[in-house]
Amino acid sequence: MEILVYGTINSVSLALMGLGFAMVYGISRVPNFAHGALYIVCGFVTWTLFHKIGLPYFISIILSLCVNGVLGILMYRFVLIRVRGMNISEIIASYAIGLAILEGFRFGGFRGMTYTLPVFMEGSLMIGSVPVDFHRLIMMVIGILLVAGLWVFTHHTRIGLALQGMAQDERAALMLGIDSDFMAMLAMGFGAVLAGVAATLILPLGNIVVESGYHVLIMSIAVCIVGGLGSWTGAFFAAFIIGYAQILTVVFIGSHFQMVVALLAIILTLILKPSGLFGQQKELEERV
């Protein structure tokens, strides 16, 4: 029972971390290595707005999500647009931005364990014999709603359909008047907002520390590689696989092996099925 409940919660939080990365990569083919940094930015901005400026919690969250979106758009508009299509440079550029942001925070004095955000709702609930606090439940509900919302967005709105078209065949989308640079910029903005959503949901459970930026980056890459780069459904299912695997390791082997699971998953996937569970690109290449 414990495994089931905490496995699901862990999986949802992994899915939340990975979604933004998967979305940006799926649409613009830019691996956004600043994803973890954006996640942390949202945490610290919310913290600053809430604790230093004294805005209501909800408003500081909304504002910091907006900040994140704008940051993502600016990052694409001024840096990544110049290197788009050059695979290595994309990674170097986005990772450099991420490093600059994360280490900038560290340099600016955001160190230690003192930065926390309040949970949405105090208290806990018993599911069977397992106590679960409300915040984790809220996180799960919002996570699932978010996935459902994204599905509706990409299947039923003009912009969402255009994003989907671009993800599948950029040039064919271009022929239909879908401007790929504009769409990639939008995708980057959405990805940044998704990183922010993940941050606002997950960070109240612990401290906001710079290191978790790197952790989130690794986890989201693991999720995306296992699920197949560029596939959102893949990322979602992979999050569940890794999530449960992690909890199982925690229960049966020991909690410090948790991180190994994600990295092992990457390695195993690359050896056994390099295109990932739901990836198509490599398979296409093999066919050609």
Partner 1 sequence: MLEAHDLMVFYENMIALNNISIKCDESQIVGIFGANSAGKSTLMYSLSGIMLDIRKKELMAGGERITLRGEVIFQSQNIMNLKPSLRAKAGIVLCPERRRLFKESSVLENLRIGGYLATKAQAKHTLEYVMEVYPALQKLKNRLGGFLSGGEQQMVAIGRALMAQPKVLLLDEPLLGLSPLMQATLIKSTKAIQKEKKISIIIAEQYARPVFPIVDYAYILENGAAVMEGTREELMNNPDVKSAYFGVS
Q: Using CB under 8 A, list all residues that contact partner 1.
A: 83-86, 155, 158, 161-162, 164-165, 168-169, 171-180, 182
Measure the CA–CA gap between 88 and 31, rounded to whole angstroms: 10
Measure the CA–CA gap between 196 and 176, rounded to whole angstroms: 32
Measure the CA–CA gap between 118 and 199, rounded to whole angstroms: 13
Long-range contacts of 9-12, Cβ-Cβ distance < 8 Å, separation of 24 or more: 9/132, 9/136, 9/139, 9/140, 10/243, 10/244, 10/246, 10/247, 11/239, 11/240, 11/242, 11/243, 11/244, 12/139, 12/140, 12/143, 12/144, 12/239, 12/243
Least distance to partner 1, CB of residue 142, Å? 27
Q: Is the separation of the CB atoms in 254 and 48 below 8 Å?
A: no
Least distance to partner 1, CB of residue 165, Å? 4
Output 116 or 233, the one with its CB closest to partner 1.
Answer: 233
Output 50 or 232, the one with its CB closest to partner 1.
Answer: 232
Least distance to partner 1, CB of residue 37, Å? 24
Least distance to partner 1, CB of residue 173, Å? 7
CA nearest neighbour of 24 among 13, 44, 39: 39
Cβ neighbourhood burial of 30 (10 Å; 0-12, 13-18, 19+): buried
Instruction: Centre a 10 Å sphere on the Cβ of residue 10 and count the other Cβ atoms it contains.
Output: 22
Output 244 or 278, the one with its CB closest to partner 1.
Answer: 278
Output 24 or 80, the one with its CB closest to partner 1.
Answer: 80
Task: Considering only CA atoms, give the Rg of the chain.
Answer: 19
User: What stretch of H or E contains 56?
Assistant: none
Least distance to partner 1, CB of residue 176, Å? 5
Output 158 or 256, the one with its CB closest to partner 1.
Answer: 158
Output 26 or 243, the one with its CB closest to partner 1.
Answer: 26
In the three-class reduction of DSSP (H, G, I as helix; E, B as strand; rest coil), residue 279 is classed as coil
Measure the CA–CA gap between 271 and 36, rounded to whole angstroms: 26
Output 177 or 254, the one with its CB closest to partner 1.
Answer: 177
Q: Is the separation of the CB atoms in 183 and 27 below 8 Å?
A: yes
Output 165 or 274, the one with its CB closest to partner 1.
Answer: 165
Least distance to partner 1, CB of residue 90, Å? 10
* HSE-CB for 47 with a 13 A CA cutoff: 19
